Homo-oligomer: A and B are copies of this chain.
């Protein structure tokens, strides 16, 4: 490996001057600059980022903590983040918690040890130890998808999205609406979306029977099973519509209904949330809500870069959404 010292010797200057040339600061004569550049190009010298970041305490790396790496949402968000930070010369260091809350904390510390300049967390839960770890890290921090107290957060408007969707279903004349959700460990998807649905139903004067509710784990299969359960336990009084909290589970639910010969939306209407690419191409195309995940990622990145420049703006931003009406309801 060639180092800055080698370059200095070859160009007949001190390493200080080489550093100045490379970083474009301080006074350097034109002749010295040229000599250095020439040697740098000839040797293909690449400065050591470890040494640099040991000295400067900055690494040019943004840490991203994902709940699950290979999901459509995650890859959209990461795409959005990357689009913004790569322009500024930053790289992304990816970590995947596999939905393990302990790992969130572990990774914050790990990213910290790697001297990342900031962290974006796709949050799925809130707890004190997590908040404490964030506080301790003293790093610019963005939470995406859940609001974390004291941390700049970008949240989806889960409550109102669910309200709008439910309202629309009601307007179509449905009254017997089933609910397929996820567990309440997830404050956004599990709690807020449910609350939006329930509140709206209540306001319409409709009570949601407990056996019209079922819960899955985000997977397509769990959507299938949830719908199966609802249908089986309501043979004599089946719902005419189902509000499903994610597109994937909605697709699973549709799969079961189609298998059983139900017509969608004729016999049962279905809605999802998330605007998965798939939602547009299944039959019938799924009515869903677009959360603009990529934009949310970009936004998160922008806020992080702002914080990096010292603007200490602790904010909460609510990402907007769009109801996409298609043929499933």
Q: Which of A53, A70, A95, A282 has the most CB of B within 10 A?
A: A70
A191 to B285, CA, bound (A): 34
Copies of this chain, count: 2
Interface string of A46-82 (1 = CB under 8 A from B): 1111110110000101000000011110111011001
Q: Which residues of B contact A114 (CB under 8 A)?
A: 49-50, 61, 91
Q: Which residues of B contact A93 (CB under 8 A)?
A: 61, 91-94
Q: How far is the CB of A104 from chain B (nearest CB, A)?
A: 14
A46 to B105, CA, bound (A): 13
A312 at the interface (CB under 8 A from B): no
Chain A residues close to B by CB (< 8 Å)? 44, 46-51, 53-54, 59, 61, 69-72, 74-76, 78-79, 82, 86, 91-96, 109-110, 112-115, 136, 220, 251, 255, 277-278, 281-283, 294
A-B contact pairs, 13 of them (CB 8 A): A47-B113, A49-B113, A49-B114, A50-B59, A69-B75, A70-B76, A70-B294, A72-B72, A91-B93, A92-B93, A94-B94, A220-B277, A282-B282
Q: How far is the CB of A265 from chain B (nearest CB, A)?
A: 15
**Nearest 7 A/B pairs, CB to CB:** A70-B79, A283-B283, A50-B54, A70-B75, A46-B113, A278-B278, A75-B75
Chain B residue nearest to A77 (CB atoms) is B70
A82 lies within 8 A of B94 (CB): yes
A255 to B280, CA, bound (A): 10
Q: Which residues of B contact A281 (CB under 8 A)?
A: 220, 251, 255, 278, 282
